[in-house]
Amino acid sequence: MTIAPRIAREVELEARNTLRIPGRAEYFLEAKSVAELIEAVRWAEAKGLAVTVLGGGSNVVVPHDGVRGLVIAPKERGIHFVEGSGREVFLDARAGEPWEALVEAAVSRGLAGIECLTGIPGLAGAAPIQNIGAYGKELDEQLVYVEAFERATGEVVRIEREACEFGYRESRFKRRPGEFIIVGMRLRLERDGAPTVRYRELVDAVPPGASLSEVRSTVYALRKAKSMILDPEDPNHRNAGSFFTNPVLSREEYARFLERAIGGGLIASEEELPHYPSGDGVKIAAAFLIERAGFRRGARMGAFGLSSKHSLCLVHHGGGDSRGLLALARTIQAGVEAAFGVKLVAEPRLLGPDLAAAVR
Ligand SMILES: Cc1cc2nc3c(=O)[nH]c(=O)nc-3n(C[C@H](O)[C@H](O)[C@H](O)COP(=O)(O)OP(=O)(O)OC[C@H]3O[C@@H](n4cnc5c(N)ncnc54)[C@H](O)[C@@H]3O)c2cc1C
């Protein structure tokens, strides 16, 4: 049977993004298998339509005027474990599996590696896109390879970790969207391995020798206190997580930044500023810059505002669309740039093929 009859027209995406903002897909399909996904891509190509991939919608901004072309949601599920050598165990997952199901499957089997990545919404297939990270762990530490449908060749290929060009909230998939559709991945875990407890807040919160599941539940509780868990009871729940990435400055840029911030009376000394080494540079906390630039937690601008728990997180209070959200994001960017000379970069992507309009 051909896929065409299953492709729906003018599908509202409001319930399919965690900000709950409205916008329609011109064509939409949930692909239950890789074969269906490939057939749908070929259908779109034959019609000259753009193809956009939607996972759990937790890191996208749906444009108010909709997404042209075909939006495909990869929904193939499945988790399998494969024995490696020694204490190594591989977790193979299909792209449509909820990310949290991977964490649950690993921790419940005593397999270490992804316990700190609990509570991150979305599907496994999107996890490599921005190299998800939290509480001292990034996905690329555990990822062995990604399996992806390559648009240019029409083949399903294996992309080893080194070729994924991972960075802080970065990958080749995010830099050059549209080249690949991720359909699966392999993670490396460790049987009876120690949990990763290296992030200051986590070190302070767990007792020495804590088990994998204790570390996971502590991370979950810390996230919940910041409204970083999707909980419909939470007034901040309509969000896309952190809206801006933490700026990473070169050593020279950082020295200039400090001089300006201290000289301008925005901070008293370097000790006040949350900052961490990052590669050859310094990562500074975007939330701190936002608050010092004068944006308060809980502040509102129309239908949107800053979360009352976390100034990096922008919240939809209802009745708004992408225009209001982007206006707030640009106001914050401009305020931080005027105060500190640093341009904040938005983490979520504008959904759709129109890259020129991407959130910058
Ligand atoms: C409350 C909350 C907390 C969060 N906390 C964190 C956190 O701690 N750390 C973190 O890193 N992120 C965090 N996020 C962001 C988000 O959850 C992750 O980036 C997640 O991996 C996105 O998954 P998704 O399935 O929702 O992707 P979507 O939002 O649907 O898509 C994101 C991008 O990936 C592309 N994409 C999706 N699936 C595929 C695929 N199979 N192949 C190719 N491209 C694809 C989309 O086109 C889009 O550009 C948080 C979000 C929320 C709402």
Closest residue by Cα to atom 47, ligand 1, is: 53
Report CA torsion sign: 7, 13, 16, 17. Answer: positive
Could you name the CATH architecture of 239-357?
Alpha-Beta Complex (3.90)
Q: Following CA atoms 134, 138, 143, 147 in sequence, which dihedral angle do they give, to the nearest 10 degrees?
A: 70
Phi, psi of 55 (to 5 degrees): -95, -120
The answer to whether domain 4-74 has CATH 3.30.43.10 is yes
| Sequence letter at residue 225 | A
Does ligand 1 lie within 6 Å of residue 58's CB atom? yes
Report the separation in Å between the CA atom of 173 and the middle of ligand 1, taken as the mean of its atom positions: 12
Residue 255 makes CB contacts below 8 A (sequence gap 6+) with none
pLDDT surpassing 90 at residue 34: yes
Instruction: Please give the pLDDT value at position 354.
Output: 58
Query: Is 347 among the catalytic positions?
Result: yes
The answer, yes or no, to whether any atom of ligand 1 lies below 6 A from the CB of 102, is no
Residue 232 binned pLDDT confidence (cut-offs 50, 70, 90): very high
Q: Residue 146: what pLDDT?
A: 98
Q: Per-residue pLDDT tens for 284-330?
A: 999 999 999 999 999 999 999 999 999 999 999 999 999 999 999 99
Q: Take atom 20 of ligand 1 and give the residue whose Cα is closest.
A: 122
Q: Where do you find CATH 3.30.43.10 in the chain?
A: 4-74
pLDDT of residue 356: 41
Fold classification of 79-225 is: 3.30.465
Cα distance between residue 345 and residue 358, in whole Å: 11
Judged against a pLDDT cut of 60, whether residue 174 lies above it is answered with: yes
**Across the chain, what does the average pLDDT equal?**
95
Residue 355: pLDDT above 90? no
Within the chain, which residue ranges are assigned CATH 3.90.78.10? 239-357
Output the six-digit token pair for 30: 């949930």
pLDDT at position 240 is 96
Biggest distance spanned by C-alpha atoms of the chain: 69
Q: How far is CA 191 from CA 111, 194, 202, in A?
A: 5, 9, 22
Distance CA 137, CA 202 (A): 11
As a whole number, mean pLDDT of residues 206-215 equals: 95
Confidence band of 10 (pLDDT split at 50, 70, 90): very high
pLDDT in tens, 248-264: 999 999 999 999 999 99
Whether 241 lines ligand 1, by a CB cut-off of 6 Å, is yes
- Is residue 6 annotated as part of the catalytic site, yes or no? no
For the stretch 132-173, pLDDT in tens is: 999 999 999 999 999 999 999 999 999 999 999 999 999 999
Residue 214's CB: how many other CB atoms inside 10 A? 15
Q: What gap in Å lies between CA 278 and CA 314, rounded to an integer?
A: 25
Has residue 359 got a pLDDT over 70?
no
pLDDT at 352: 82
Q: How far is the C-alpha of 212 from the C-alpha of 57, rounded, in Å?
A: 28
Could you tell me if 195 and 219 are in contact, meaning their C-beta atoms sit under 8 angstroms apart?
no
Secondary structure letter of residue 54 according to DSSP = -
Q: Check if 129 has its Cβ closer than 6 Å to any atom of ligand 1.
A: yes
User: Separation of 209 CA from ligand 1 center, angstroms?
Assistant: 32
User: 358: pLDDT confidence band, cut at 50, 70 and 90?
Assistant: very low
Compute the distance from residue 156 Cα to the ligand 1 centre, in Å: 22
In the chain, which residues fall in CATH 3.30.465.10?
Answer: 79-225
Over range 9-27, report the average pLDDT: 98
Confidence category of residue 6, pLDDT binned at 50, 70, 90: very high
Q: What is the atom index within ligand 1 of the atom nearest the CA of 240?
A: 53
| Active-site entry in 227, 242, 311, 322 | 242
Distance 260 CA to ligand 1 centre (A): 35
Please name every residue paired with 166 in a beta bridge, in sequence order, or none if there are none. Answer: none
Residues of the chain with pLDDT > 70: what percent? 98
Query: Is the CB–ligand 1 distance for residue 132 below 6 Å?
Result: yes
59 CA to centre of ligand 1 in angstroms? 4
Is residue 278 annotated as part of the catalytic site, yes or no?
Answer: no
Band of pLDDT at residue 1, cut at 50, 70 and 90:
low
The answer to whether the beta carbons of residues 66 and 23 sit under 8 Å apart is: yes
